[in-house]
Structure 1
Amino acid sequence: MSLWGKTDSFTYIMNQTKNLGLAVNVISDYDRTNANEYIKRKNVLVIIPSLVENSPYTVYECLINNVNFLASNVGGIPELIPQEHHAEVLFIPTPVDLYGKIHYRLKNININQGLLNHKTILKKLGLSQLNEKTTGAFKKIDEANSPLVSVCITHFERHHLLQQALASIKSQTYQNIEVILVDDGSTTEDSHRYLNLIENDFNSRGWKIVRSSNNYLGAARNLAARHASGEYLMFMDDDNVAKPFEVETFVTAALNSGADVLTTPSDLIFGEEFPSPFRKMTHCWLPLGPDLNIASFSNCFGDANALIRKEVFEKVGGFTEDYGLGHEDWEFFAKISLQGYKLQIVPEPLFWYRVANSGMLLSGNKSKNNYRSFRPFMDENVKYNYAMGLIPSYLEKIQELESEVKSLAEHQWWSFCQ
């Protein structure tokens, strides 16, 4: 028992309450379970006389267990209690106000104040606040809000998969679309024959086929953008498949968010099959969003299959054009974010990403790819340091050097033994 001045606290309490005409019982041998069971009784009133508080568990426990209590109106306590019960449950931490509230509650002890954060209350509150913010403000696609979207497809020697990509664009629920197809230097007769075959259909739709030498993805996408007339650009690889609502969802999100760039999660497909509209998703890539600390060493933005405001694309200079390297989309998104443009993620997979057993990223130089995606963070105008970005490349280089040293040592030992 602690001391109060020269008197222990038990004696002090007894002396101060002896003239109240009430029985005072000090219980000091209850554990947590016994104490909780005691205060749950309907003839008990708990007093929480905090002078300084944040968001106390004591109040949470009383609310969850429907305990009768009074609490001081300090810190975050009022936020935990429904507004309509503030007058009955809260008191100003002064003797006069506390006396008044105790006197009132002893006559009205049972008040079912409930937990403010109960899921049913939260649901009603959330819907109410959401309706207040969106009523009359949501922009729908109509004649006044139907910007032209240029779907920029890059192609190289995969005409059999390009058929699937084009079929998915022709099935879009959004109509104001043009397609810019850049053939990045295909040489096979089958690819040339297929491009010739679809040319009349493209011309009838006002779409464009642009043939070029092989310059790689960054250059091919920039070439498509230069031929595009749309307010927005949507880049697409020839082996991916758009879901029917992809463009419509992108445009709706752009109109209502004001984002300069919108990316999306992607459902994954394997092999060369065409995914049916009702196919069950088994694998998905969910990017985290534009966190620049993470972006310095991992692509948290998303895939190049994104919707980009053309004006912004041109202001930042489009993609860099490094032949034979990947990560051009990661680099572009980092550049966009570092320059203060608004990049957001649509929280719904809008396309099927085809996972190949071989390809540019699998066969390319990982260290050079990582260096490319880190380049925006090395710009002299960037105010922050993101030292983690090149660590994967450094580690890979160390492993390569260790392997070379080991191989050299083994060779020298073998030569010595001879």
Structure 2
Amino acid sequence: MELKNPLVTVIVPNYNHEKYLEQRLESIFNQTYSNFEVILMDDCSTDNSLLVLNKYKEHIKVTSCVFNKVNTGNTFEQWVKGIKIAKGELIWIAETDDYCDIYFLEKLVKPFQKDSQVVLAYCQSNRVNEKGVVTGSWITQTDDLDKSLFLNDFIIDSNEFIEKYLIYRNVIPNASAVVFRREDVDINKHFDIGREFRYCGDWMFYFKLIVNKKVAFISDSLNNFRYHQTSVIAKAIQAENRITFMNIEYKLRFVLMHYLEKIKISNYDKIKERNNFIKRNFIIYEKALLLIQSGKKLKGYLMMLTVYDVYLNRHNVKKRILKKIKKVFT
């Protein structure tokens, strides 16, 4: 159904972002759209985050505080906790190292008011460094897929969005830029992969959430996606983890294709034809083995090899590859 003046639940999952917290929270509480509640969360931070959070816990917009005594080590566990207690029709996961424009909610809520089929809306993001200086835009994330589409606002059929963009990479690079409908979230079905993949669970969640619905995009850069040494994405692309991260994404592509086949959307065959790279990218696996043989980063590559288990079993090539691995590590 179309939403007239929906309540938005803002979930704020924090871990050790003391120095960014105040800017993040002020950017939330100063929104021009006023119908929202805030859930403050902390995953047992070891810095002074709780001192900052406690200053805001009595704010009129704060309806819940969930401060863990034991660290879960997985931000998606925090998402799930927040969604379960959310009262709003819409959900915004406002990550604590990011911040936003005061018009963020006002503009992101509008697509839901216009079209009852919109299940997720997101905006363009600025690239921001540790000091809060804007260094660019995340439009570069989509330049090679479509140079013109993301320059303007749009509402698109979700299956087309998957086929042309989301199947190739996560074109929604930051959760802080996203608002989605709570009633369409199935905790049990949508977060099974999110728990497994610490770096790419958001991609899988979006994929499952939007199938057979609509996605809205706001081209204004209303979100500031901060890049710093301790951010999730920074950790993922450090030299020793880069190949692991790339191949987790590779396995996810395989899972996405399997999910498309299962739900039998009308354009599955077309998507499958355009994504035969799943088989071609198996070459990456072979190259990793060669790198291991040359003595480079054995531990990191050994971690990477484990992500292929599903693929190997499905294509009956596990025995051949395991034989190669045995030669490398014995």
Q: Which residue of 1 aligns with 2:136?
A: 283
Q: Which residue of 2 aligns with 1:296?
A: 167
Shift of 1:396: 4.2
Q: Which residue of 2 aligns with 1:254?
A: 112
Aligned length: 256
Alignment of 1:93-104 (within 5 A): none
**For the structure 1 residues 373 and 360, does the alpha-carbon distance in structure 2 shift closer, same or farther, using more than 3 Å as the test?**
farther
Scaled by the length of structure 2, the TM-score of the pair is 0.69
Q: Which residue of 2 aligns with 1:381?
A: 262
Structure with more contact order per residue of length (Cα contacts < 8 Å, sep ≥ 6) = 2
- Contact 2:13–2:78 at 8 Å: present in 1 too? yes
Alignment of 1:124-139 (within 5 A): none
Structure of higher CA gyration radius: 1
Which one of 223, 228, 237 corresponds to residue 95 of structure 2? 237
**For the structure 1 residues 182 and 318, does the alpha-carbon distance in structure 2 shift closer, same or farther, using more than 3 Å as the test?**
farther
Shift of 1:158: 0.7
Q: Is the aligned partner of 1:399 residue 2:257?
A: no
**For the structure 1 residues 220 and 390, does the alpha-carbon distance in structure 2 shift closer, same or farther, using more than 3 Å as the test?**
farther
**For the structure 1 residues 393 and 172, does the alpha-carbon distance in structure 2 shift closer, same or farther, using more than 3 Å as the test?**
farther
**1:87-142 Cα shifts (integer Å, max 9, x gaps):** xxxxxxxxxxxxxxxxxxxxxxxxxxxxxxxxxxxxxxxxxxxxxxxxxxxx9xxx
- Contact 1:221–1:319 at 8 Å: present in 2 too? no
SS, match of residue 53 in structure 2: helix
CA distance, structure 1, for counterparts of residue 232 and residue 280 of structure 2: 19
Shift of 1:149: 0.5
Q: Which residue of 2 aligns with 1:116?
A: none
Alignment of 1:219-238 (within 5 A): 219-238=77-96
CA distance, structure 2, for counterparts of residue 327 and residue 211 of structure 1: 24
SS, match of residue 220 in structure 2: coil
**1:249-292 Cα shifts (integer Å, max 9, x gaps):** 0112221133111011101111133x6xxxxx651113557242
CA distance, structure 2, for counterparts of residue 158 and residue 301 of structure 1: 22
Alignment of 1:64-213 (within 5 A): 145-188=4-47, 190-201=48-59, 204-212=60-68, 213=70
**For the structure 1 residues 393 and 240, does the alpha-carbon distance in structure 2 shift closer, same or farther, using more than 3 Å as the test?**
farther
- Between structures 1 and 2, the one with greater helix share: 2
CA distance, structure 2, for counterparts of residue 192 and residue 392 of structure 1: 48
Shift of 1:150: 0.6
Question: What is the letter of the counterpart of residue 164 of structure 1?
Answer: Q
Q: Is the aligned partner of 1:327 residue 2:185?
A: no
SS, match of residue 185 in structure 2: helix
Q: Which residue of 2 aligns with 1:346?
A: 218
**For the structure 1 residues 148 and 377, does the alpha-carbon distance in structure 2 shift closer, same or farther, using more than 3 Å as the test?**
same
- Contact 1:172–1:245 at 8 Å: present in 2 too? yes
Q: Could you tell me which runs of 5 or more consecutive residues in structure 2 were left unpaired when the two chains were aligned.
A: 143-149, 151-155, 237-243, 297-330
SS, match of residue 37 in structure 2: strand
Aligned-pair identity (%):
20
Q: Could you tell me which runs of 5 or more consecutive residues in structure 1 were left unpaired when the two chains were aligned.
A: 1-138, 276-280, 409-418
Question: What is the letter of the counterpart of residue 275 of structure 2?
Answer: A
CA distance, structure 1, for counterparts of residue 94 and residue 289 of structure 2: 38
Scaled by the length of structure 1, the TM-score of the pair is 0.55
Q: Which residue of 2 aligns with 1:307?
A: 179
- Contact 1:154–1:237 at 8 Å: present in 2 too? yes
- Contact 2:111–2:216 at 8 Å: present in 1 too? no
